[in-house]
A = this chain, B = another copy of it.
């Protein structure tokens, strides 16, 4: 991981690849790498689909090593959805493979003069860029099938579906998992549209002939990794809840807490919750020969994913995540797991953010395009998106645009990005994160559900404003750092509660890179990343008023707790006081 691969896609020349040393970007990984490159090289006022934007794909500092959980890859750019900086990350195999190939980042620059599609092959011998017009308007599944038939089953792929090609604001970048299925997505902020605008349909990574990255101090590294894994296994969330039921273990928890946004954020409990819970999902998967416990990448010890089979026992999709089940389920009044799994499959195939699409269909339902609970109509609507009909184009543009186009008042977005599966009135810490993160409403940017609902990393009353600013700030800082390591964010459950697991993570980084990082250094890294992201957003025109929830969260009471969002603008503006 000592070089950067820059691919210049035009318009003044045919696409070319160039490898260069890290230079100023030495020591950065994951989100730290993507945000630093974007902040430094992308003009904040450029059009997100223009030649001046760049798509940066970066494995984390520990990706490609034997470190457990190090398989996350970051995808960064100026977001066409939010207009601000974006880092979306995904699991799957590409982080490990790209790191083993020695690349700390791939940067896609410019765009072709004409409407042409390309694929990029990266292997031990170097880089090839080839026309890929035969893949035009193919879904991610067909695309990957065609690529494996050409390049073999041992590759991994980074691809876009129809949505990315159509430059939709809800489009994703797909990463293949261990089974070479395009089921893990850098989903948020329309990163797929930026890849589409670059004319890149697929990046094929093949690490045949390459070996695992080796640590500077192998023994210390091995020891730290062992302690780290043991810490994860000992924590109730990472050792029991997540492996058994996946992220969807949260449906019952959040619904019970009255914080489950139902019918486009109208109330906090969904009567159909049990039918779509992680418990029901796991049972269904096991009964049909799927898997209730499965990793999204090699080296995962939490294994919170799974494999979802249809009624006939055939693979349909990976286990839909909690946020997906919520978005396409409870938020739309839909309580049928098979329909939700079908929506997940369609989203993955077209390359669409499941959170954005579920929230968008909730808004469309509010506009009268479908009845709440009508799963068939929801599936039909998502199919429109894949086809690129005018209606599909609207929905594929996300909730904010859909709300504008249909004149809907209640549109749950911040910086144009849809809120996920935790109502900010009943989990006020999440409200702070939604409002203030540089990313637009994003639960992963500062997951205050921990102390608000789960009793992890302390306890902060979810319904009250007290303590939420500090909670969200600390989590946002820690997250920015974790997102730079290539580590799955779920390690946070264990490292927030267990000092020795946190220390083991730092020890791994130090042993691997020959550093002397302290806990304070990790915190400083997180702050540094947040500051440069926020500076980019300011230069792109964001101000305090962009750090607010839509007004109705302050005025519309949310049941069952009858609570409104109570954190003042002044307090929200203090999140970045560091």
List 22 contacting pairs A-B, 8 Å CB cutoff, sorted by A.
Answer: A43-B551, A45-B545, A45-B548, A45-B551, A46-B551, A49-B407, A49-B409, A50-B551, A80-B404, A167-B406, A167-B407, A193-B407, A389-B390, A390-B390, A390-B391, A393-B405, A394-B405, A401-B404, A405-B405, A539-B545, A541-B543, A541-B548
A interface, by DSSP: helix, strand, loop or mixed? loop
Check if A541 sits within 8 Å of B551, measured CB to CB.
Answer: no
If A47-B550, A47-B551, A545-B540 touch, does A397 touch B393 (CB 8 Å cutoff)? Answer: no
What mask results when residues 31 to 59 of chain A are scored 1 for a CB within 8 Å of chain B, else 0? 00000000000010111011010000000
Counting from the closest, the 4 A-B pairs by CB-CB distance are A541-B545, A167-B407, A390-B391, A390-B390
Q: Which residues on the B side are within 8 Å of A168 (C-beta)?
A: 407
Nearest CB of B to A356, in Å: 14
* Closest B residue to A547 using CB positions: B541
Q: CB distance A407 to B166 under 8 Å?
A: yes
A552 interface contact, C-beta 8 A: yes
A406 touches B393 (CB 8 A): yes
| A545 / chain B contacts, CB cutoff of 8 Å | 45, 539-541
Interface residue ranges of A524-550 to B (CB < 8 Å): 539-541, 543-546, 548, 550
Question: Chain A interface (Cβ within 8 Å of chain B)?
Answer: 43, 45-47, 49-50, 52, 80, 166-169, 193, 196-197, 389-391, 393-394, 397, 401, 404-407, 409, 539-541, 543-546, 548, 550-552
Known: A168-B407, A540-B545. 7 other contacts (CB 8 A): A45-B548, A46-B551, A49-B407, A49-B409, A166-B407, A167-B406, A389-B390
A550: nearest chain-B partner, CB-CB: B47
Residue from the set A46, A168, A541, A552 with the largest chain B CB neighbour count within 10 Å: A541
Cα A196 to Cα B407 with chains together (Å)? 10
**CB-nearest residue of chain B to A398:** B404
A544 contacts across to B, CB distance below 8 A: 541
Measured between alpha carbons, how far is A166 from B405 in the docked complex, in Å?
A: 9
Q: A168-B407, A407-B167 are in contact. Are A546 and B541 (CB under 8 A)?
A: yes
Closest CB-CB distance, A405 to chain B, in whole Å?
5
Query: In whole angstroms, what is the CA distance A540 to B544 when docked?
Result: 10
Q: Which of A405, A539, A541, A545 has the most CB of B within 10 A?
A: A405
Q: Give complex CA distance A193, B550 in Å.
A: 19
A169, B548: Cα distance in complex, Å? 23
A52 to chain B: which residues have CB within 8 Å?
Answer: 551
- Nearest-CB distance from A161 to chain B (Å)? 15
Q: How far is the CB of A537 from chain B (nearest CB, A)?
A: 10
Q: Which residues of B contact A409 (CB under 8 A)?
A: 47, 49-50
Compute how far the CA of A404 lies from the CA of B394 in the bound complex, rounded to whole angstroms.
9
**Residue of B with least CB distance to A197:** B407
Q: A552 with B45: in contact, given A167-B407, A541-B543, A546-B541 (CB under 8 Å)?
A: no
User: Which chain B residues lie closer than 8 Å to A196 at the CB level?
Assistant: 407
Closest to A407 in B: B167
Asked whether A552 lies within 8 Å of B47 as measured between CB atoms, the reply is yes
Alpha-carbon distance A544/B543, docked complex (angstroms): 10
Q: Which residues of B contact A47 (CB under 8 A)?
A: 409, 550-552
B contact residues around A401 at 8 Å (CB): 397, 401, 404-405
The distance in angstroms between the C-alpha atoms of A171 and B80, with both chains bound, is 26
Shortest beta-carbon distance from A434 to chain B in Å? 16
Alpha-carbon gap, A409 to B551, bound state (A): 30
